[in-house]
Amino acid sequence: MSRLELIDENIRTISEYVPGRSIEDTAKKYGLDPATIIKLGSNENPLGPSPKAVEAILESAGKVNLYPSADAGELVEALSKYLSLPVSNICAAGPGMDGLLDNLMRLIIQKGDEVILPIPTFSYYEIAARANGASVIYVKRKEDFTIDLDAIGTAVSSRTKVIFLCSPNNPSGNIVHESDIRMLLRSFQGLVFVDEAYIEFGEHSVANLVMEYDNLVVGRTFSKLFGLAGLRLGYAIMPSWLKKEYMKIATPFNVSLPALKAGVAAISDEQHIEKSIAMVREGRKYLQEHIPFKVYDSMANFVLVDVSPLNASDVCEVLLKRGIIVRDCRSFKGAGNSLIRVTVGTQEQNECVVEAFRSV
């Protein structure tokens, strides 16, 4: 018996998560000064974290000999005010929304269950579901990346536990309409997970529907708008019956003290929030108007560029040589060979990106 057989077949056959490229690796590979690299491949906030969050992290540093609160109560209360939703419907989560997804799958998936993924979409759903024993059913999105309700309906079986809807969708940037989400919530017996990692850059959150449907979970993160990707903090809005069960199995103390304090500070920093959103809304319009390829409409802090008949990897290579990191979407199942995702940067960064695309 090979040692590898200690690991379940369902896990051995998972493809590794492909992260966006890092500044360090890119600098080394292309012989560039790290300080000059423009990183627009991971949808981070180019304005950095809120200064208030940074201050809160520094203040908490001297107290990390103590365990944080087990349920991140202070942050959950702050989120409750921020969202105008009850504490009993909110869970804070580390490490990031990814940690929440893993805990939720561990809670809900039983061997042989299925989950449905409308692709192309964020790839961690698949890893979290399969690592916990689920099989994944892929349903292609339509040409314009909207979800195909009929095809999802056909894919649902008695074993389907979760339907994952990313809204706005990573990597396409379009939202899932509320009427479609309501349709699925009404007709489907399992959970509908709506990933709102980018919701603040557009509108149309469905978080309030948690009060109306007892099978909706809405995932959120501090990694994108709030500029705290390195801290690994997320949260979810879910029905109170589910929060009770979730809290039983969530890893204790999964939100660190610096993350908790930074989260509370970040949602109080209206100035930084408004500035970040305004930059993204202007920037994505600029990118859409000036990149000389097809650029899809986006409600997120990135745009999706179709460089066909060219190849995404060739175009990314041209940009990388100029020190610009963008995301080659070939690693997204169902995305084809010609899509590139570009994070909206500062105006200066956006101008460099446009010039680089023009040089192709």
Residues 283-312 that bind ligand PLP (CB under 6 A): none
Q: With contact defined as beta carbons under 8 Å apart, do 329 and 335 qualify?
A: yes
CA-to-CA separations, 218 to 193, 195, 215, 275, in angstroms, rounded: 6, 6, 10, 25
| Residue with Cβ nearer ligand PLP (130 or 323) | 130
> Which stretches of 148-239 are DSSP H helices?
149-155, 178-187
Inter-helix orientation angle 270-290/257-268, to 10°? 80
Within 203-222, the residues that bind ligand PLP by CB under 6 A are 221
Cβ(273)–Cβ(119) below 8 Å: no
Three-state secondary structure call for residue 198 = coil
50: helix, coil or strand?
coil
Q: Please say which residue, 223 or 256, places its beta carbon nearer to ligand PLP.
A: 223
For ligand PLP, the closer of residues 264 and 356 by Cβ is: 264
| Contact flag: residue 122 with ligand PLP (CB under 6 A) | yes
- Single residue of 223, 256, 338, 349 touching ligand PLP by CB under 6 A: 223
3-state helix, strand, coil in the chain (%, to 5): 45, 15, 40
Min separation Cβ 228 and ligand PLP, Å: 9
Q: By CB under 6 A, what part of segment 77-96 binds ligand PLP?
A: 96
Helices first, then strands: H and E counts in the chain: 13, 13
Show contacts with ligand PLP in window 154-173 (CB under 6 A): 166, 170
Confirm or reject binding of residue 129 to ligand PLP (CB under 6 A).
no
**Residue 97 is a binding residue for ligand PLP (CB under 6 A):** yes
CB of 185 to ligand PLP, least distance (A): 20
In angstroms, give the least distance from the CB of 13 to ligand PLP: 23
CB-nearest residue to ligand PLP: 96
**Site string (230-249) toward ligand PLP, x via CB under 6 A:** ----x---------------
β-pair type (302-306, 294-295): antiparallel
Nearer to ligand PLP, 129 or 356 (CB): 129
Could you tell me the end-to-end alpha-carbon distance of the chain, in angstroms, rounded to an integer?
A: 52
**Which residue, 234 or 323, is less far from ligand PLP as judged by CB?**
234
The residue (of 231 and 265) whose beta carbon lies closer to ligand PLP is: 231
The 21-60 contact track toward ligand PLP, x by CB under 6 A, reads: ----------------------x-----------------
How far apart are CB 199 and ligand PLP at their closest, in Å?
10
**Nearer Cβ to ligand PLP, position 230 or 292?**
230
Cβ atoms of 304 and 295 closer than 8 Å: yes
List, as own/partner pairs, every contact residues 239-246 make where C-beta atoms lie below 8 angstroms and the sequence separation is at least 24, other chains included. Answer: 239/89, 239/210, 239/213, 239/214, 239/215, 240/86, 240/88, 240/89, 241/214, 242/191, 242/214, 242/217, 243/88, 243/89, 243/90, 243/91, 245/107, 246/91, 246/103, 246/104, 246/107
By CB under 6 A, is residue 107 in contact with ligand PLP?
no
The nearer residue to ligand PLP, 195 or 269, going by C-beta atoms, is 195
- Can you tell me whether residue 220 is helix, strand or coil? strand
User: Which residues of this chain interact with ligand PLP, rule CB under 6 A?
Assistant: 43, 96-98, 122, 166, 170, 195, 197, 221, 223, 229, 234
